[in-house]
Structure 1
Amino acid sequence: MDDIATGGTAADMDERIPRKLIGSIFAVGSLAFFGILTETVMTVLFPELMRELHVGTATVQWITTIYLLSVAVTMPISSYLKRRFPLKGIFVAAVILAVAGCVIMIFGRSFPVLIVARIIQGVGSGIATPLMINIILEQSPRSKIGRLMGVGSLVITVAPAIGPTVGGAVSSVLPWRAIFVLIIPVMAVSLIVGLFCIEQRTPTQSAQLNPLQFIAIVLGLAGLVMALNQAGVAIGAAADGGSYATAASIACASLVVGVLALLFFGYSSKRSFSPLIRLGILRDPVVLLHLLAYGILPMVGIGFGYVITNLAQLSLGTNAFLAGALVLPGALIGAFFAPVGGMLYDRFGPTRPILTAFAVAIVGPVLLLVFSMRLTPELLAGFYFIFGLSYALGYSNIMTSALSAIPPQFTPDGNAIFNTMLQFGGAAGTTLFSTVLTIAQAGAGNEGSSSFAHATAVGGAWTFAVMAVICVAAFIALAFAFRIRSLRGKRDKAISHM
């Protein structure tokens, strides 16, 4: 009676979002947000870093590449960390790594030292992002899980999108190291909130880390990311008429090592009593099709940040700050509507909210393709806005829908797999689109010339065509997944009535 008198039944009370859960999501989410933000914020700073550190374009790109490698090889062990260690301990370790990386970035004066800092930051980010998703999936009320996953997706979708804007804005008025100075106080606040709010709902287990599987996943993911990076360098060099043999050889060798290592990891996991990641969930075609869409869509979502900023500067002649600002409308509206997408999931289920969102998302790159040779900054921002809004509405729901189809004890494994694919997709997209633009610009003269601007616009058209194809492929994969799920439901219902 007291529960009813003070605002609802016991069931209603159980479905309220606990304040400590909100604090936990804020603490871990802000840590993950700034970790992912630094992934793209550094791309705007490459010219300044090249001058300060006396390195070339191919070398300075390792500031981002080594970060992506560190994140990619850390995320797969999130399932093991979740089973083996308390959530609060994992969180504290991530904060320590993030702050240590920032301090080294602030005081480091040589390129190798900055590389070490980026490795440390990448490991911290690779721990924080899956931890946030695990807390949401484990501790959210069932009726609110969609909207809270939407809040969590803000980290995934908004941080990389606004990175170029933040980098351009800060570096225009302050030294680039000020970015990391500003991040440290936020990390301190996150630490305090996290220590107070993060709760352990499930007991830890005596899970063991299989060293061979860990080495295999590190070599596999590092090999594939390295292959993508060096393939882009080789193609770009070949398009410019330069030497590409070394980069091509590294790309081929990395690809072979990566594929063989992943095959060994899969083989070993099937025969291991306590595998690093339990891959059995991928036998379900519904989960596998969701994973395909979740992996290829970030190629567009994260790749847009690179494409828009470069197209605006090199083809439309805008400055760096305005180029970064063109991403903001779509990114900010995404920040507002990502939880709305989760609310639609909670109310209508996964099928209609997800398929509708990505049917509309396809319109963005299609319009950019149609108008590619007569774009203005306003059209560029407006058409990206269409994609950014729809992408934010639907993307986080893909993982929520997929993980709802697997037993709860395998949720950390699914989380690790999906977050790893997200990271890999983002890295692949940036490499793919930078290569497309480089090929289009080859032999077009010097930067700033009309022929170079026209060639960049042509490369933009090619890029938008590839983006549209990727969006259509993801939509088809999701449509098939929901079709299979619907047929299963009808079959199970028929069996239950027999």
Structure 2
Amino acid sequence: MNQTIDSTEIRRIPIVAVMLVGAFVGLLNETLLATALPSIMADFGIAENKVQWLTTAFLLTNGIMIPISAFLIQRFTTRQLFITALSIFGLGTFIASISHAFELLLVARVVQAAGSGVMLPLMMTVMLRIFPVEKRGAAMGMSGIVISFAPAIGPTLSGWLLEFTSWRGLFYVVLPIVIIAIITACIFVKNVTEQTYPKIDILSILLSSFGFGGLLYGFSSISGGHGGEASTNINGASIAIIVIAAIILAAFIIRQLKLKNAMLEFRVFKYPIYSLSLVLTMIVLMALIGAETMLPLYMQNTRGFSPLESGLMLLPGAIVMGIMSPITGMLFDRLGAKWLAVTGMTIVTVTTFLFTNLDLDTSFVYLSVIFAIRMFGLSLVMMPVMTAGLNQLPIEWHPHGTAMANTMQQVSASIGTAILISVMTTTAAHYQPDQEAIAGLSEVDILNQASISGYNTAFWVATALSAIGLIMTFFLKTKAQTNNTAK
């Protein structure tokens, strides 16, 4: 296959549309069960720490499959890989819809994630392949709708659907979409990636799985702690798991650098703009998780809002991100990444700071409006920065670049959640109130004040992360500098 794909010979719109749908339903399922977990707990008679595995197992499997996707993209054709991944996801969705035991539902979530973990890196690789550099911004902007909008709308959509159906209805809704996507993919998806047929290195797969999987599990376990003796024990075990996973990952990296055909190519980091873009994306995601994790907890646990209401609070922000992603992509093609990112990170830093003064009277409208403005800022950063980084890589490294980017997003999201939840719970546990200020308050009110202190401190940390990201955006290249480098 030629290095340059003749875009006139490829029906780009149907391919992109089908892959966007596949990646959308895959990412949607990361958060679709968020508001359904209480119903599942009641249905199966299980506790919170057990039902949480439906989310944890999905994210873990996703995190394991994404690094392997670079190998799979080089091993199989676009059609083979996408249709297979979508079919596996569909099989998992079907099993989930008929599950009458928690264990079967858990297996179904793992099967779902095994398919969805491949679809996003494949979609991004295909877009880099079929669109010329000057049009990639608009194309990747469409990807931004999937990456940002799907997980954000999951809790709201599930909360609304649960008003009319059981938790199984969530899978009934997704399944027909997946079936239609599979049929459409069989018709329209063409082979556009290049097969180099790398050899299967079982040791690399094992090291990657235990390394990345252990890292994600360790950080997700830390963020699951909410104080008390049990939480301390969990955190100690989690830290041990993180250390072991880091050692395994170090072995994985060393092996990849020695292999002639690496499963995941770490030499992508020799391109400075790619490395800067990836680190910046990770920081943005760690700051983003501050709002998407903290605000629903604050609303439900401290303010008494329902899961649906907290989902509705996030909805305007998700809609803003969905509308802005393709617009931002087109702006990137004209202006480049630097000044979009500087503007966006300024907005993110300011709006994150505005969440550091939450109290028991903060209004629903305030939360929703500031969050929406924050998402507008993020829309100016996410895809332009990632696209600018991926554009620096040679075409044969695109599968590795997209796999590395998506893997680091998973890791940074877990790290961000762990850091911010830990800051929140630690601050709340060590809250020392002003005795005069709490005079006459009930014990519940004092506990709520402690929780709010934790949330505000966590948002201070998120603000600091955002400020670091803002400083880093000034080191990105302008479009003129990028064009001069290309010449």
Same fold (TM over 0.5): yes
Amino acid at match of 1:426: A
Q: Map 1:349-388; keep pairs closer than 5 Å.
A: 349-370=336-357, 374-388=361-375
User: Within the alignment, does 1:292 sit opposite 2:279 as a pair?
Assistant: yes
Instruction: Pick one of 53, 56, 59 that aligns with 1:62.
Output: 53
Cα deviation 1:400-449 (Å, max 9, x = unaligned): 100111211111111110011112222333333344444455599xx994
Amino acid at match of 1:257: I
Partner of 2:42: 51
Superposed displacement of residue 244, structure 1: 4.2
Distance 1:59 1:471 in 2: 34
Native 8 Å contact 2:353 2:459 kept in 1: yes
Distance 2:443 2:378 in 1: 33
Superposed displacement of residue 21, structure 1: 1.6
Partner of 1:432: 419
Partner of 1:77: 68
User: Within the alignment, does 1:115 sit opposite 2:114 as a pair?
Assistant: no
Judged with a 3 Å threshold, the aligned counterparts in structure 2 of structure 1 residues 443 and 98 are, in CA distance, closer, same or farther, namely same
User: 1:312 aligns to what SS in structure 2?
Assistant: helix
Native 8 Å contact 1:299 1:425 kept in 2: yes
User: Within the alignment, does 1:94 sit opposite 2:116 as a pair?
Assistant: no
Distance 2:482 2:17 in 1: 38
Instruction: Pick one of 286, 295, 309 that aligns with 1:322.
Output: 309
Distance 1:268 1:207 in 2: 15
Amino acid at match of 2:475: F
Partner of 2:332: 345
Judged with a 3 Å threshold, the aligned counterparts in structure 2 of structure 1 residues 61 and 329 are, in CA distance, closer, same or farther, namely same
Partner of 2:436: none
Distance 2:310 2:412 in 1: 23
User: Within the alignment, does 1:137 sit opposite 2:128 as a pair?
Assistant: yes
User: Within the alignment, does 1:401 sit opposite 2:392 as a pair?
Assistant: no
Instruction: Pick one of 443, 446, 453 that aligns with 2:448.
Output: 453
Amino acid at match of 1:277: L
Judged with a 3 Å threshold, the aligned counterparts in structure 2 of structure 1 residues 367 and 107 are, in CA distance, closer, same or farther, namely same
Amino acid at match of 1:388: M
Cα deviation 1:84-129 (Å, max 9, x = unaligned): 1010111111111111111121121222222211111111110111
The more displaced of 435-444 and 421-430 is: 435-444
Instruction: Pick one of 251, 262, 265 that aligns with 2:252.
Output: 265
Judged with a 3 Å threshold, the aligned counterparts in structure 2 of structure 1 residues 161 and 452 are, in CA distance, closer, same or farther, namely farther
Native 8 Å contact 2:86 2:116 kept in 1: no
Q: Percent identity?
A: 25
Partner of 2:458: 463
Native 8 Å contact 1:80 1:207 kept in 2: yes
Judged with a 3 Å threshold, the aligned counterparts in structure 2 of structure 1 residues 156 and 327 are, in CA distance, closer, same or farther, namely same
Native 8 Å contact 2:214 2:241 kept in 1: yes
Over the residues paired in the alignment, what is the CA RMSD in angstroms? 2.6
Distance 2:473 2:77 in 1: 35
Native 8 Å contact 2:273 2:388 kept in 1: no
Judged with a 3 Å threshold, the aligned counterparts in structure 2 of structure 1 residues 19 and 360 are, in CA distance, closer, same or farther, namely farther
Amino acid at match of 1:419: N
User: 2:303 aligns to what SS in structure 1?
Assistant: coil
Partner of 1:478: 473
Native 8 Å contact 1:39 1:67 kept in 2: yes
User: 1:480 aligns to what SS in structure 2?
Assistant: coil
Cα deviation 1:309-362 (Å, max 9, x = unaligned): 222222333222111100011110110110111111100112112222222221
Native 8 Å contact 1:21 1:197 kept in 2: no
Q: Report the count of equivalent residues.
A: 472
The more displaced of 168-177 and 300-309 is: 300-309
Partner of 1:335: 322
Superposed displacement of residue 488, structure 1: 9.3
Judged with a 3 Å threshold, the aligned counterparts in structure 2 of structure 1 residues 160 and 436 are, in CA distance, closer, same or farther, namely farther
Partner of 1:40: 31
Instruction: Pick one of 295, 301, 305 that aligns with 1:308.
Output: 295
Judged with a 3 Å threshold, the aligned counterparts in structure 2 of structure 1 residues 342 and 122 are, in CA distance, closer, same or farther, namely same
Native 8 Å contact 2:95 2:108 kept in 1: yes
Instruction: Pick one of 212, 215, 223 that aligns with 1:221.
Output: 212
Distance 1:408 1:219 in 2: 29
Partner of 2:402: 415
Unaligned runs of 5+ in 2: 1-5, 432-441
Judged with a 3 Å threshold, the aligned counterparts in structure 2 of structure 1 residues 478 and 190 are, in CA distance, closer, same or farther, namely same
User: Within the alignment, does 1:176 sit opposite 2:163 as a pair?
Assistant: no
Distance 2:250 2:448 in 1: 44
TM-score, normalised relative to structure 2 = 0.90
Amino acid at match of 1:478: T
Distance 1:391 1:460 in 2: 21
Amino acid at match of 1:275: A
Superposed displacement of residue 456, structure 1: 3.0
User: 2:197 aligns to what SS in structure 1?
Assistant: coil
Distance 1:68 1:286 in 2: 28
Amino acid at match of 1:306: T
Native 8 Å contact 2:82 2:119 kept in 1: yes
User: 2:203 aligns to what SS in structure 1?
Assistant: helix
Superposed displacement of residue 371, structure 1: 5.0
Native 8 Å contact 1:345 1:397 kept in 2: yes
The more displaced of 301-310 and 183-192 is: 301-310
Partner of 1:160: 151
Judged with a 3 Å threshold, the aligned counterparts in structure 2 of structure 1 residues 440 and 94 are, in CA distance, closer, same or farther, namely same
Judged with a 3 Å threshold, the aligned counterparts in structure 2 of structure 1 residues 486 and 139 are, in CA distance, closer, same or farther, namely closer
Native 8 Å contact 1:164 1:324 kept in 2: yes
Superposed displacement of residue 41, structure 1: 2.0
